[in-house]
């Protein structure tokens, strides 16, 4: 099962990069500033609330870090990046990934567009809601497509703005973990290499394709 899942992940990332063709730079200028602000606020508030709630429920510290990053940034990718930054348990990572997929794919991806339609929300508002709320990037694209072209563009801008924060978040988490663990000497010291390894490369491809098709 590992090989098919890996191949599927590659095709999903290729599709997300090619999606940059439809997101023209002028659209980012119109909606990007608000999208970036919303993304930053959502990531910080959701991460802190998740971290606080897990601590109140006495959840394991490793699981708390991975779960908080997953629900606030970009789902599975954030969970994997956080697990790598803190050298987390693979079993706990599998649990977080399963929770994210079970939550994001059937209920949120399908029912959120339907709820937005029933509430009479505009495509712009719906797109911002989908991009800022649904954890996985693929589910955001799928749900945005169900609503319309405008919702797809806005949701993609918001979600990719969150994805850009993944590298920074992994770096910050690795620093925090290094100074809060008792065995600090055994922790990998945070470096620029760690940021690059944790950063989702398909985001750069998306931006590059969008710039090329916007100006050339």
- Residue 189 three-state SS: coil
pLDDT of residue 9: 56
Measured over the CA atoms of residue 177, residue 83, residue 131 and residue 197, the dihedral's sign is positive
pLDDT of residue 1: 46
Whether 151 and 162 have beta carbons less than 8 Å apart is answered as: no
Global pTM exceeds 0.85: no
The Cα–Cα gap between 66 and 202 comes to 21
Phi, psi torsion values for 93, nearest 5 degrees: -65, -45
Whether 138 and 158 have beta carbons less than 8 Å apart is answered as: no
Most distant CA pair in the chain, distance: 55
Whether 37 and 163 have beta carbons less than 8 Å apart is answered as: no
List Cβ neighbours of 32 (8 Å cut-off, separation of 6 or more). 157, 161
Measured over the CA atoms of residue 171, residue 175, residue 180 and residue 181, the dihedral's sign is positive
Helix axes 149-180, 76-86, angle to 10 degrees: 10
Structure tokens at 216: 């050339």
pLDDT of residue 4: 52
What number of other Cβ atoms are within 10 A of residue 98's Cβ? 11
Can you give the pLDDT of all 216 residues of the chain as single tens digits? 444 545 655 676 676 677 666 655 665 566 556 656 766 787 888 888 999 998 899 888 888 888 888 888 777 777 877 877 777 788 888 888 888 888 766 778 888 999 998 999 998 899 888 888 887 777 888 889 889 888 888 888 777 777 767 767 777 777 777 666 654 444 455 566 766 766 667 767 777 887 787 777
pLDDT of residue 186: 47
Task: Provide the CA 154 distance to its chain's centre, in angstroms.
Answer: 15
Neighbour-count burial of 69, counting CB atoms closer than 10 A to its CB (0-12 exposed, 13-18 middle, 19+ buried):
buried
CA distances, 116 to each of 138, 144, 145, 185 (Å): 19, 11, 13, 50
């Amino acid at each position: 099962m590992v090989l098919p899942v890996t191949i599927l992940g590659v095709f999903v990332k290729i599709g997300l990069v090619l999606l940059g063709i439809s997101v023209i730079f002028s659209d980012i200028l119109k909606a990007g500033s608000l999208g970036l602000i919303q993304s930053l606020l959502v990531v910080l508030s959701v991460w802190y609330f998740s971290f606080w709630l897990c601590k109140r429920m006495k959840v394991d510290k490793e699981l708390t870090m991975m779960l908080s990053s997953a629900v606030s940034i970009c789902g599975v990718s954030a969970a994997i990046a956080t697990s790598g930054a803190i050298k987390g348990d693979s079993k706990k990572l599998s649990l977080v990934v399963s929770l994210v997929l079970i939550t994001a794919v059937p209920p949120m991806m399908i029912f959120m567009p339907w709820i937005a339609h029933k509430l009479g929300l505009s495509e712009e508002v719906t797109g911002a809601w989908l991009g800022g709320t649904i954890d996985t990037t693929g589910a955001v694209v799928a749900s945005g497509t169900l609503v319309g072209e405008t919702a797809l563009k806005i949701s993609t801008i918001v979600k990719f703005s969150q994805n850009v924060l993944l590298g920074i978040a992994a770096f910050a988490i690795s620093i925090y973990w290094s100074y809060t663990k008792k065995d600090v000497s055994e922790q990998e010291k945070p470096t620029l290499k760690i940021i690059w390894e944790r950063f989702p490369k398909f985001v750069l491809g998306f931006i590059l394709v969008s710039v090329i098709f916007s100006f050339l």
